[in-house]
A and B are shown apart, each in its own frame.
Chain A
Amino acid sequence: MTAKGWKDLVLIGVLVLAAAFVPLVTDGYWLSIAVTAMMYIALTTAWTLFSGPTHYISLATGAFFGVGGYLVATGMSDHDLPFWLMAAIAPVVSVVLAALIGAATLRLSGIYFVIFTLGLAEMIRGLVSWVQNNFLGSRGLYVLTDFTEAHIYWMLLAIAATVYVIGWLIDRSRLGFAMKIIGNDEGVAKHLGIDTARAKVLLFMVTGFFSTLVGAIVAPRYSYIEPNQVFSPELSFMVVIMALLGGTQKLWGPIIGVIPFILIWETITASFPNATTLYLGLCFLAIVYFLPNGVVGLVQKIIAKGRSA
């Protein structure tokens, strides 16, 4: 085991500890922003787990997140099931969903996967609304729990830390090594004995699991849930932007992207609510043209230049 690997883990441990104190020193507006940021940190880290090594732009986050929120809501509201049971069931449903999507698209070129996930949240929203309107009756779904914002924050922090540790373990496993080879040359990977489709599907399932768990945990924040609100295509795009903004070569890269993005996002939403889409567009363009490897990549480049000079 390299010293560098352990150092990364220790650094994250310290960050998690520090982050755990946030709800104790703040509340109200800033705590609410911290919850949002922590939600995106968990989502982007989970996203990077799959999309970092494969370079596949997954837009499935909104769909997974929606499955989490919607199943918790419908379970609690329509069937009086406990929150924890639903929060446990939802990720399993998504793992199955991810396996199906993966099996259909990941053996083909990456473009099919992107296109398939592009409309996925919208499609599931259409399906869920239809089922609800025709078979379940269209009443609102309530998620009533005793959780405070601080509870939700800590749970999200725990998820983010877990995703990180899992990513760290995968990185040191044969699966992680296989993903690195696939990222280098998928054709060669196959001829080295790697079942590339299986490796990609497995990783996508892990991402699906955690994205859904985040959706389930965040559901109590909204209290009242409609399919239109939880199956949000916009969420998928925001996750992509924040992850790429930070940089996806390192699993902690996305954290660097989330915090500034959320701060600017909140400011724009508050003062110029009509400009949010434009902001998303400009961020995408900025990433492609100025930050192709994210902030982390840029910093690494500057450091490398400094060393060679």
Chain B
Amino acid sequence: MSTGRSILTVDRLTKRFGGLVAVNDLSFEVREHEVMGLIGPNGSGKTTTMNLISGAFAPTSGTIHLEGRRLSGLGAHEVTRAGVSRTFQLVRVLPGLSLIDNVIAGAAFGHKRRWGGPAKEQAVRLLQRVGLGAQIGLPVSALTYIDQKRLELARALAGEPEVLLLDEWLAGLNPTELQEGIALISDLRREGRTIILVEHVMDAIRSLCDRCVVMNSGAKIAEGTPQAVLSDPEVIRAYLGDE
């Protein structure tokens, strides 16, 4: 278990959509250099939590702080500038831009800004890093699904975020791609990045996460190491239902 200082604090976060409570009184902390898994059955509020952290939605109540700075209530662009980058559940690359420009887009307005020559050098470096070195000259439309996911990851890394949010980044990959994907994220982990991972792939959760928060019906039902939470009877019940 990681023992770094706490970097992101979510406190009593609640989000209502009309009568539906998507996130209910959720609190947790993310420590520096750890990979934290946010898991739970479908519809448990994981993606809504990601959207709240990244500023896509404003919370109904509760707060989110990044290194003491309040994020809740800020717009998505301000959250990104403060140091939180994300990828999307359904991959969203910029089809009209070149691969390099896609990555520069993450650097030009992000947390640590780069523009012009340095941004371009960094973009090439990041593309090689995520395994797209050979595809640099291709149009975005020619990329396979996993390559689009790689591109999105490079874009999210370009602003050098304090915290990286990966929303089901491994979903939809075939077994070979999955191994490559897990290897890539565990590389990032070794580098000491702080990552929040929403994931369904259990192998990935076991091998990548230092700690997990388990959600069900919008609330936290367990927290701890992957081994501990995945053997927790309440977690098993949430995933499998009663009998």
Interface positions of A (Cβ within 8 A of B): 174, 177-178, 180-181, 183-185, 187-188, 190-196
Contacts and interface: CB of A to CB of B under 8 A. Distances in A.
B143 to A, nearest CB: 15
Nearest to A178: B109
Interface stretch (B1-9, B89-97, B177-185): B89-97
A144 to B, nearest CB: 50
A194 B135 CA distance: 27
B59 interface: no
Interface of B: 54-56, 75-78, 80-81, 85-86, 88, 92, 94-97, 101, 104-106, 108-111, 115, 155, 159
Given A190-B76, A191-B86, A193-B80, A174 B109 contact: yes
The 7 closest A-B pairs by CB, nearest first: A193-B109, A193-B80, A190-B76, A184-B94, A193-B110, A193-B81, A194-B109
Contacts of B77: 190-196
A188 B86 CA distance: 10
B96 A190 contact: no
Contact of A192 (B75, B78, B109): B109
Contacts of A196: 77
Given A191-B54, A193-B159, A181 B94 contact: yes
A197 to B, nearest CB: 9
Contacts of B106: 192
A191 B78 CA distance: 9
Contacts of A185: 92, 94
A188 B97 CA distance: 13
26 contacts: A174-B115, A177-B105, A180-B101, A183-B96, A184-B96, A184-B97, A185-B92, A185-B94, A188-B88, A188-B94, A190-B80, A191-B55, A191-B76, A191-B77, A191-B80, A191-B86, A192-B108, A192-B109, A192-B155, A193-B77, A193-B80, A193-B110, A193-B111, A194-B109, A195-B78, A196-B77
A193 B74 CA distance: 12
Nearest to B152: A188
Which of B85, B88, B104, B105: most chain A CB closer than 10 A? B105
Contacts of A183: 96
Contacts of B111: 193
Nearest to A187: B92
B167 to A, nearest CB: 11
Contact of A191 (B56, B96, B115): B56
Given A192-B80, A192-B105, A193-B159, A180 B86 contact: no
Nearest to B86: A191
Contacts of A194: 77, 109
A292 to B, nearest CB: 16
A159 B81 CA distance: 37
Nearest to A195: B77
Contacts of B96: 180, 183-184
A192 B77 CA distance: 6
A16 B104 CA distance: 34
B136 to A, nearest CB: 17
Nearest to B155: A192
A190 B97 CA distance: 16
A180 B97 contact: yes
Which of B92, B95, B108, B109: most chain A CB closer than 10 A? B109
A185 B155 CA distance: 14
A190 B92 contact: no
Nearest to B165: A191
Contacts of B109: 174, 178, 192-194
